[in-house]
Structure 1
Amino acid sequence: MENKKRNILITKEQIENRIIELGCQISKDYEGKNLYVLSLLRGSFIYAADLVRHIEVPTKIGFMTTSSYGHNEQSSGSVKVVNDIPDNIEGYDVLVVDDIVDTGITMQFVMDHVKNLGAKSVKSCVLLDKPERRKVPITPDYCCFEIPDVFVVGYGLNYGDHYRNIPYVFNWED
């Protein structure tokens, strides 16, 4: 893949600016609430870290690891919990943060799981939304960018085990 030219879809600056806006909106929406940000590993760790720095209400942060892709470019269609939520989230207003929602299967699974654990409320927050690939009827509550149906990497999104560290979102040109 490195022999191909990178096509930058979303710049570092665009990401930074949108996260600041979203952090302000979330701060307003969760004022006076008991916020728990649940970051889905591994893809969302960079996005979640940057986002919570701009949330100005008291926030508890936890992590959950799921798997539906493995090393493939497409979801397997089934979700496996690799590491579950480490905290009791009963009574919390949970914001599930992920890098991307495409089929929606993982997000729907996690949101249902969180509800079953006694969360007061559950909303979703994603860096990228790819609605053309949706297989379940879910729309992110908070979203930085909507993208077309292309395979993307960077800013937490990986190809194999690489490229999460790139500070922008890109795909490769043929």
Structure 2
Amino acid sequence: MDQSDVGNDIEKILLTSEDLGKKLDEMAARIDEDYAGRDLLLVGVLKGAVMVMADLSRRLHHPIAMDWMAVSSYGSGTKSSGVVRILKDLDTDLTGRNVLIVEDIIDSGLTLSWLVSNLRSRGPASVEIASMLRKPDAAQADVEVKYLGYDIPNEFVVGFGLDYAENYRNLPFVATLAPHVYGG
């Protein structure tokens, strides 16, 4: 899927496929260096992290294990409810494992802060975060991100795993939507 497939739904491309690929290369090199000779479990947060997880994992140069979680703190709206629910838990025992949470984007940080605390309570050797995007202006919780792609403005974005009404996830870039798409 590319921009021509979505017509005038895209207002502005913020990060191209090339931008994302270059940053993933840099992140993977740092992760490889930091975890050389150690086990590593990547924990992807569904659904948005699928693209980041797939592309990041293929750039790593040592064996890794993967698992997935689905958590929700959103009701029917777009604002966090503050209550986190585990929709799909890990299949892997974290005891003594080095865990790297892989995220597509950090908005408020509230859900991710809860997730880090939850995973640390399971006895891992370490828990760190890798995220392709972060919105510093939207932060409501202090979350330490060890591997960060880009800080972006507090705008609603789609592509590279990010969706609007379950659409646009498979765009190979990150973009803002035109207001006519969401009634803005």
- Classify the TM-score, shorter chain: over 0.9
Alpha-carbon spacing, 1:114–1:95, altered in 2? closer, same or farther (3 Å): same
- The CA deviation at 1:71 is 5.7
1:75 aligns with one of 56, 61, 80: 80
Q: Distance in 2 between matches of 1:4 and 1:124?
A: 31
More helix by share: 2
Which residue is equivalent to 1:15?
A: 20
Which residue is equivalent to 2:182?
A: none
Contact in 2 for aligned 1:129/1:140 (Cα 8 Å) = no
Q: Distance in 1 between matches of 2:68 and 2:9?
A: 34
Alpha-carbon spacing, 1:119–1:168, altered in 2? closer, same or farther (3 Å): same
Percent identity between the two aligned chains? 33
Which residue is equivalent to 2:119?
A: 114
1:95 aligns with one of 63, 84, 100: 100
Which residue is equivalent to 1:29?
A: 34
Q: Distance in 2 between matches of 1:115 and 1:139?
A: 14
Q: Deviations over 1:113-168 (max 9, x none)?
A: 11111111000000101111111111311111100110101100011111111110
- The CA deviation at 1:86 is 0.7
Moved more, 107-116 or 39-48: 107-116
Please give the secondary structure, in 1, of the residue aligned with 2:82: coil
Q: Distance in 2 between matches of 1:101 and 1:5?
A: 21
| 1:45 partner letter | V
Unaligned runs of 5+ in 2: 1-5, 180-184
- The CA deviation at 1:6 is 2.6
Q: Distance in 2 between matches of 1:22 and 1:32?
A: 17
Please say if 1:61 is aligned against 2:89: no
Unaligned runs of 5+ in 1: none
Which one has a bigger Cα radius of gyration?
2
Q: Deviations over 1:44-75 (max 9, x none)?
A: 01110000111112211100011123564333
Which residue is equivalent to 1:136?
A: 141
- The CA deviation at 1:3 is 5.2
| 2:137 partner letter | E
| 1:32 partner letter | G
Alpha-carbon spacing, 1:73–1:54, altered in 2? closer, same or farther (3 Å): same
Contact in 1 for aligned 2:108/2:140 (Cα 8 Å) = yes
- The CA deviation at 1:2 is 6.7
Q: How many residues align?
A: 174
Q: Distance in 1 between matches of 2:12 and 2:106?
A: 21
- The CA deviation at 1:5 is 4.2
Q: Distance in 1 between matches of 2:10 and 2:94?
A: 44
TM-score, normalising length: structure 1:
0.93
